[in-house]
Structure formats: structure tokens, C-alpha cells
Amino acid sequence: MALKITDQCINCDVCEPECPNEAIYQGIEIYEINPSKCTECVGHFDTPQCKEVCPVDCIPLDLDHPETQEELHIKFVQLTTAKAALVTVVIKAAV
């Protein structure tokens, strides 16, 4: 299941750089999480890093986006494969 940031967010800026999938971004009022990029850090870490660093505990599961651990792992593979392909294209273009 993806995570979400609630309106209890204090915009402290600590969660965004911790996300290995770049799923966290500054919204209009608070930070937000793109559920299509959030894997709860599956494939990267044992626990969601944004939750680990959040000082106000405002990052619960997003019940609107239910996913199994297997689905999160598949999403991780897809995201990292796409990122690797993009890096390869950029490197080849630079050469």
C-alpha cells in the first residue's frame, strides 16, 4: 500500500530527500506522496524511510491505494528498471 502525508505535516523538509523513489514532492500546502511511485521503500529498505524521519508521525498507509508486498516489489522493479534505462539513454547521448 502506498503511504500518504496528512494535513498534520509541518513542512519540515526531512521526508522528501529520504525517498529513494522520488515519490514525495512539495504540494500546494504540504508535502504529498505520488502513490504510483511509493513502494513503502520495498526493495530499498526494511522500513519506509519517510516514516522513520517524520517528527510528527503524519505518514500513514494510504487506504485508497491498497497493494500487497508482492505488488510493491513489482512496482519497485518497474521503477528501478525505468530509471536505469533513462540513465543509459543519457549516458549514450553524452558519448
Identify the sign of the CA torsion 69, 71, 77, 78: negative
| Rounded Cα–Cα distance for residues 71 and 89 (Å) | 27
Place of cell 525505468: 82
| Rounded Cα–Cα distance for residues 35 and 85 (Å) | 21
What is the enclosing helix (H) or strand (E) of 94? helix 69-94
- Whether 43 contacts 53, CB under 8 Å: no
11-54 pLDDT, tens digit per residue, is: 999 999 999 999 999 999 999 999 999 999 999 999 999 999 99
- pTM of structure: 0.85
CA 57 from centre of chain = 16
**pLDDT exceeds cutoff 90 at 89:** no
pLDDT of residue 82: 79
